[in-house]
Amino acid sequence: MNDSMETTKTTTKKKNRCYFCNKKIPLVMRGTPCQCGHEYCSEHRLPETHNCEFDCRSEHLKNAESKIKAMKCVCDKVNRV
């Protein structure tokens, strides 16, 4: 008895279109999505031109935080010695 285990195929066609203006993206430009995960045409590649959802400020904050933590660590060590 073979159970017909049908793997639900989700036919997700890659659209290769600019997420912002829906223009076709030339082959050369494909494969390099923005940090927000969407692909854009040459006009809208820059985060400013497509109102990028990617919050670079929070990323910056994260980086700054980890840097501060690292610095504190160093300070603690210095103080102990």
Q: Where on the chain is the footprint of Zn ion (CB under 5 A)?
A: 18, 20-21, 23, 34, 36, 41, 43-44, 47, 52
Q: For Zn ion, which is the closer residue by CB, 54 or 74?
A: 54
Tell me how far, at minimum, the Cβ of 14 lies from Zn ion, in Å: 16
CA distance 55 to 60: 9
For the purposes of burial, counting CB atoms within 10 Å of the CB of 39, is it exposed (0-12), middle (13-18) or buried (19 or more)?
buried
Q: For Zn ion, which is the closer residue by CB, 23 or 67?
A: 23
Tell me how far, at minimum, the Cβ of 25 lies from Zn ion, in Å: 8
Are 20 and 39 in contact by the 8 Å Cβ rule? The answer is no
